[in-house]
Structure 1
Amino acid sequence: MVAHKPRNSMLPGGVPKLSRSAVYKKRALYKRQKVQVKPAVEEKATHKTKTVQGEKNGGTREVPLQRQPRFYPTEDSKKPLNNRRKVKPTKLRSTIVPGSVVIMLAGSHRGKRAVVLKQLPSGLLLVTGPYKINGVPLRRVDQAYVIATSTSVELPALPDTLTDALFKRKAKPTKNEKEMFVENTAEEPKISAEKIALQKEVDALVVPAVKSVDMLQSYLRSVFTLRKGQYPHEMKF
C-alpha cells in the first residue's frame, strides 16, 4: 500500500503551508459535526380541573393556576434593562491630594482658588476657599472642573461630619390645585445654622495652615484669568 500524502506540508522555518481553516475545509470536517439533541422539556401545567356543582354546568371546569390581572395600565411601563456593570469608586487624579490647591473652572466661584479637603464617597471633591479668605464655602466639585496646581497645604484632622449628607436638599412639598394659582410668598431657603457653624470650624483649622505658607493667602485671594497669548495647556501650575 502507498502511504497517503499529507494535505498539508511544512515550509522552511517550521511554518505549515495551509492554515487550520484551510485544512478544515479540505478535509470536509464541517460535514462531520456532531449535532446535540436538546433534551425534551416537560411542559408545566397552567390549568387545573375543578369540579362544579349543578346539573347544567358540565361537572368540571378548567381553571388557570395563575390568575390574570383584572385591570391593565393605560401606558406601557418602562422596565430597566439588565446590566452587569458594577459601580466602581471614582479614581482620583494623581495630581490631586488632600491639601492641594485647585482652580475652579465652573459654577458661581469659577476662576477662584480653593483647597481640597478630601474626596467624598460619591467621588466628588470637597473644597473650601477657605471662606474667611476668598469667600468660597464648603462645596462639592467634580474633579473634571478643576485645574490641579503644584501648591499644597498640610491639613490637620477634619471633622467627621463632612459627608455627602451635608449637601442633601430637602424635598419640596407638592402643591394641590388651589395652591398652584396662588402667588409664592415663601421666603428663599436660608443656610442652616449647622452649616454656618461647620464652616467656621473648618476655617479655624484650614486658615492657620494656609498662613503658615508664604504668599499663599494672597495667592488664594487672586482670581485666575487668561490673557492674550496665554494657553493653559502650555502652562505649569
Structure 2
Amino acid sequence: MVNGCPLRRINQIYVIATKTKLNIDSVTLPDRLTDDYFRRQKLNKAKMGEGDIFESKKEVYSVSEERKEDQSSVDKQLLAAIRKSGEKKLILGYLGAMFSLSKKQFPHKMIF
C-alpha cells in the first residue's frame, strides 16, 4: 500500500486533486479488476436455531492471496513510476502524510 489505502475503488468526494502529475503509462492492471472484483463479499451469518449459540462461529473476512498479489504488483509498478519522476521525495512524503482540514480551510481554495 503506497499511501495506506488498499487496492479498492474510492469515491471522488474523498480525493483531493493536486497539480502534481505522475506518468503512469507503464502501469498495467490485471484483467481481473472488474466490478465483481470490488463488490463486497457476503459472509454467512451463524444461524441461531442450530445447536448452541456458542458453537456456531461467525465468518470473518480475510484477504485472499489473489488480492495480495494484485496489491503488490500494482504497488511495485506505482513505486517504479514515482522513482522515475523528478520529485520522488516530495511525492512519497505527500502520500505518507496525514491530511486533515480545520475550520475555515476549504480544499477547493488550496493549491497543492
- TM bucket normalised to smaller: 0.7 to 0.9
**Counterpart for residue 153 of structure 1:** 22
Verify the 8 A CA contact 2:22 2:81 in the aligned structure 1. yes
85, 97, 108: which is aligned to 1:233?
A: 108
Name which of 83, 86, 94 aligns with 1:219.
Answer: 94
Aligned length: 106
Instruction: Find the aligned partners of 1:145 and 1:219 in 2 and give their Cα distance.
Output: 16
**Unaligned residue ranges in structure 2 (runs of 5+):** none
Return the letter of the residue paired with 1:206: L
Identity among equivalent pairs (%): 37
Alpha-carbon contact 1:137-1:199 (below 8 Å) kept: yes
The 8 Å contact of residues 134 and 221 in structure 1, kept in 2 or not, is answered as yes
Give the 3 Å change call, closer, same or farther, for CA 217–135 of structure 1 in structure 2: same
For 2:70, which of 189, 194, 198 is the aligned residue?
198
Stretches of structure 1 lacking an aligned partner (at least 5 in a row): 1-130
Alpha-carbon offset, residue 179 of structure 1: 3.2
Residues 176 and 218 (structure 1 numbering): CA distance in 2 closer, same or farther, change over 3 Å?
Answer: closer
Q: Larger C-alpha radius of gyration, 1 or 2?
A: 1
- Structure having greater relative contact order (Cα 8 Å, sep ≥ 6): 2
Contact 2:82/2:91 (8 A) holds in 1:
yes
Distance 2:61 2:47 in 1: 21
Residue 181 of structure 1 deviates from its aligned partner by 6.4
Q: For each residue in 1:123-145, what CA deviation from the matched residue of structure 2 results, as whole angstroms up to 9, or x when unmatched?
A: xxxxxxxx0x3321101112233
* Secondary structure of the structure 1 residue equivalent to 2:20: strand
Q: TM-score, normalised by structure 1?
A: 0.39
- Check the 8 A contact 1:211/1:217 in 2, yes or no: no
Q: Deviations over 1:38-85 (max 9, x none)?
A: xxxxxxxxxxxxxxxxxxxxxxxxxxxxxxxxxxxxxxxxxxxxxxxx
TM-score by length of 2: 0.74
The runs of at least 4 consecutive aligned structure 1 residues that moved more than 4 Å come to 174-177
Task: Return closer, same or farther for 1:140/1:179 CA change in 2, 3 Å cut-off.
Answer: farther
Q: 1:235: how far off?
A: 1.3
Separation (CA, whole Å) in 2 of partners of 1:170 and 1:225: 30
- Output one character per residue of 1:70-120: Cα deviation in whole Å (capped at 9) or x when no partner: xxxxxxxxxxxxxxxxxxxxxxxxxxxxxxxxxxxxxxxxxxxxxxxxxxx
Larger fraction in helix: 2
Q: Distance in 2 between matches of 1:219 and 1:201?
A: 21
* Matched-pair contact (CA < 8 Å) for 2:43–2:61: no
- Cα shift readout 1:192-236 (whole Å, capped 9, x = no counterpart): 111001111111111111122312111111122234653333212
CA contact (8 A) 1:210 1:216 kept: yes
The alpha-carbon distance between structure 1 residues 216 and 172, as it changes in their structure 2 partners (threshold 3 A), is closer
